[in-house]
Amino acid sequence: MALRPVPGMRWLLFSVSGRLSRRTYAWALLFWTLSLSITVSAAANAPDDSTSLALAGLGFILVCVTGAWSIAVMSIKRLHDAGLPGMLVIGLVIPAASFLVLLVIMFWRSDKGPNRHGPGSDQPGY
């Protein structure tokens, strides 16, 4: 029987496959919140010359795009861990439903043991 590789940061932040526990999801959201805060701070404190502002703006856009993708795929994995369909992540972009969907993602209990999305929490899928 072949051993499964240990999941890394690329799997955690950018892959849709597998399951993610509540704790790991919360830490990853904190990572993206801090990344965005640092980028906004750098952009706000950039000198007024056009090169510095352009680089700060580019960094902000880069963090926003990669962060949005990462949060979406982590939310899908979190939904998978709870045994819920990943398509519920669409609720995060609906203004009236986003807060409720985020609460479900954050606090819904994980399935114990394997489910159809993977062998266990914080592991890639089948």
Distances (CA, A) of 93 to 28, 52, 102: 19, 32, 10
> What is the distance between the alpha carbons of residues 2 and 18, in angstroms, rounded to a whole number?
18
Q: What share of the chain is helix, strand, coil (3-state, %, to 5)?
A: 65, 5, 35
Q: Which residues does residue 19 pair with via DSSP β-bridges, in sequence order?
A: 123
> What is the distance between the alpha carbons of residues 57 and 42, in angstroms, rounded to a whole number?
9
> What is the distance between the alpha carbons of residues 73 and 83, in angstroms, rounded to a whole number?
15
Q: Give pLDDT, residue 123.
A: 84
Say how many Å lie between the first and final Cα of the chain, rounded. Answer: 14
Q: Give pLDDT, residue 5.
A: 58
pLDDT tens by residue, the chain, 126 residues: 555 556 788 888 899 889 999 999 999 999 999 999 999 998 888 888 878 888 888 999 999 999 999 999 999 999 999 999 989 999 999 998 999 998 889 999 999 989 888 888 888 887
Buried b (16+ CB within 10 A) or exposed e, 7-30: beeebbbebebbbbbbebbeebbe
Q: Give pLDDT, residue 74.
A: 94
Q: Encoding tokens for residue 40?
A: 């906004």
pTM as predicted:
0.86
